[in-house]
Amino acid sequence: MVIASDLATEKDADAFMRDNFLIPQSRYGWSFEEQVRIPNSRGRIDYVVTTGEGLQFGIECKKDLYCGEVGTSARKLAGHFEQAAAYARGLQLPVFVGPFVTHDNFSGLVQGGQKLTALAALNIFGGRVNVGSLVHHDYHWGSWTLRLRGHRFWCSRNGMQERMNKLVTSQGAKKERIQL
């Protein structure tokens, strides 16, 4: 089980992401580049990932991202969202912020409903500019999920969701929005 002190710094979050998500996925043909410079920017994204099918996306690691009643605040997520949205525009790829950690079944936390959590808002509204979340499910044998536009983009148990493949590249705000 992952606890708060495990992800207290961005370096810890980065190591956790690399060792528990990226390296295990490499056996399925995934590759990744670290500290990739954003075109026309001074910024660097933590990872650019290429799947075995050739799909690409970025990952930006942040510390202390938790789901649930004491989850990460909307104010804190807003800064992460702003940075990830700029990276998504620069790379013309979806960017996932993570690792979010949950110890509970959190389907309501990421899809919205009557009460909108900070994480659900990031996934629903952030998806409009190709920003999503990377969630580590501690309760479910350490599985992982990439979420975008309130939907599962990829899951370690089921793989890539075919209907989400069309979102893997972007033309920025001028892109024709596809109803999911």
Give all domains of the chain, ordered by start, each with its CATH number: 4-170 (3.40.1350.10)
**Gap between the Cα atoms of 121 and 109, Å rounded:** 9
Cα–Cα distance measured from residue 16 to residue 2, given in angstroms and rounded to the nearest whole number: 10
Task: Write out pLDDT tens, residues 157-167.
Answer: 776 666 665 55
* Distance set, CA 44 to CA 39, 47, 60, 83, 160 (Å): 9, 9, 9, 10, 26
Inter-residue long-range contacts of 110-115, CB under 8 Å, 24+ positions, other chains counted: 110/67, 110/135, 110/147, 110/150, 111/150, 112/150
- Residues 12-41 pLDDT 10s: 889 988 988 899 888 888 999 999 999 888
Bridge-partner residues for 48, per DSSP? 33, 58
In a 13 Å sphere around the CA of 11, the CA atoms on its Cβ side amount to 0
Backbone angles phi, psi at 43, to 5 degrees: -75, 160
Give percent of the chain above pLDDT 90. Answer: 18
pLDDT band at 96 (very low <50, low <70, confident <90, very high): very high
Lowest mean pLDDT among 43-52, 77-86, 136-145, 171-180: 171-180
Q: What's the rounded Cα separation, in Å, for the pair 175 and 93?
A: 12
In terms of Cα–Cα distance, which of 103, 163, 136 is closest to 18? 136
Q: How confident is the model at residue 178 (pLDDT cuts 50, 70, 90)?
A: very low
